[in-house]
Structure formats: structure tokens, C-alpha cells
Structure 1
Amino acid sequence: MSEARQLAEDHYYAALDLYADGNAEGAIAKYREAVEADATFVDALHGLARVYQDLSRFDEAIATAKRIAEVDPDDVLAHTSLSILYQKKGMIPEAEEESNRARILGWKQQLKQGKQ
């Protein structure tokens, strides 16, 4: 494991602990540090998006979920999160589009697993 990934994971686990303790802002800071250490660490991005969602900071959550989809276009959860976030903002056509994208990606993954 690279040094950057180890540092990112350390920040990620610290963020999980902070959020579990009710310190959302501290968790956000640690998730950001994790992403700064390794911009491709999607677990930290998912955590960050979730904290933003829980705080009703939907624009920041959407931007973070979009970043996940850029890093990993096949991440079903990123598109599911985007669908939920768009729905919370009343952006129904966008929510439906992301929901469909997540469903199709899920089917593709199931088919791929079935062939193995």
C-alpha cells in the first residue's frame, strides 16, 4: 500500500469515528484530508457525500457524488446517491436519470458476475 493511501485511510477512519461521535464538521475535515491524500479514495468521498447529505448541504453532496462518478463511472452507489440528492432538491428529471443509470449499472454488474 502506498504511503498516500495509508494516510488517506488513517484520515478516513478518524472521520468515521468523529461522525459516530456526532462531530460532523470534524468528520468533514478528516474526509477532505483523506481525499487530499488520495483523490481516488472513493470510500472517503462516499463518507463525505453522506455527511453533507445528512446536514442538508445538498449542493456539496451532489458535487462530491459527481466526483465519485468521475473517479469510478461504474460506481452504482454514486448514481444512487445522486438520484436521492436530486430528488431532495426537487430535481425530478435528474433524479430519474441517475436512478436509471444506477439500475443499468447494477444489471451490468450482475450479468458480469453471472458469466464468471
Structure 2
Amino acid sequence: MAEAAPQSPDASGAYDEGSAFFAIGDIEGAVKAYRRSVALDPNFFDGWHALGMALLKSGEVKEAIGCGLQATTLCPNDLLAWTALSQMYVQDGQIAQAEDAKGRARILSLGGKVVRDGD
């Protein structure tokens, strides 16, 4: 039996492991590593974004949306995060929410800033 690869003790290392799994098509391995990255650092934007995309690819759309929302909360002016969230909403059939996220991405693509409710 093969020995498991050692796990990185930090969020960035876990994220890198997840990206390596994702690159070879091991989505389950990627999800596990990305989950570890956000458990180690709940404010790790890249971890939340990547976890959401991996979950979307695995068909876990509702959970992917939660990760996408966390990513946009952490970095509300990230164009890619809003674009990904829009895709997640489309996959879930939430067209109004998808259009809202797409609109925010469009504002950012034109050089604007997203103003969150309550800010």
C-alpha cells in the first residue's frame, strides 16, 4: 500500500496541493485540500474561490455558491470571483442572482468598484 503524501501545515501549501490535484483531474482530492486551506485560514480568498470552483465541477452547486459568496465577501472587488459566482447561480437556476453577480463583474471590468449593501 502506498504511503499518503504529507499534508502541508499552512493554508497556502494546502491550496497548492489542491491546485495540483485539480490539474490532474482529481477533483475529490482538490476539494479535500481546498477545504483544509480554508480551515487553516478562514480569510484565505484563493482557497474559498478554488473550493467553490472545484465543488461546482463536482456538482455540489449549493455548497459552491456558499464558497463563492464567501470569496466575494472577502474580496468584493475581484472580477473573477463575481464571474464565478454568476456561473454558480446559473448552474443552480437562480437567474436573478446570476444577473446581479454578472452586473457586478461588469462594473469591475469597466474599472469601477463594487459597493456592497451596508458599506
1:55 match: 58
What's the CA shift for 1:78?
1.5
Tell me the TM-score normalized by structure 1. 0.81
Deviations 1:82-112 (A, max 9, x none): 11111122211111111011111222359xx
Mean alpha-carbon deviation: is it higher for 34-43 or for 16-25?
16-25
How many residues end up aligned between the 2 structures?
A: 105
Deviations 1:28-65 (A, max 9, x none): 11111111222222111121111111112110110000
What's the CA shift for 1:15?
1.0
Structure 1, gaps ≥5 residues long: 1-5, 111-116
Query: Which structure: greater helix fraction?
Result: 1
Distance between the aligned counterparts of 1:24 and 1:81, measured in 2? 17
What's the CA shift for 1:22?
2.9
Tell me if 1:106 matches 2:109.
yes
Tell me if 1:27 matches 2:17.
no
Distance between the aligned counterparts of 2:22 and 2:111, measured in 1? 33
Alignment of 1:19-98 (within 5 A): 19-98=22-101
- Percent of counterpart pairs with the same letter? 33
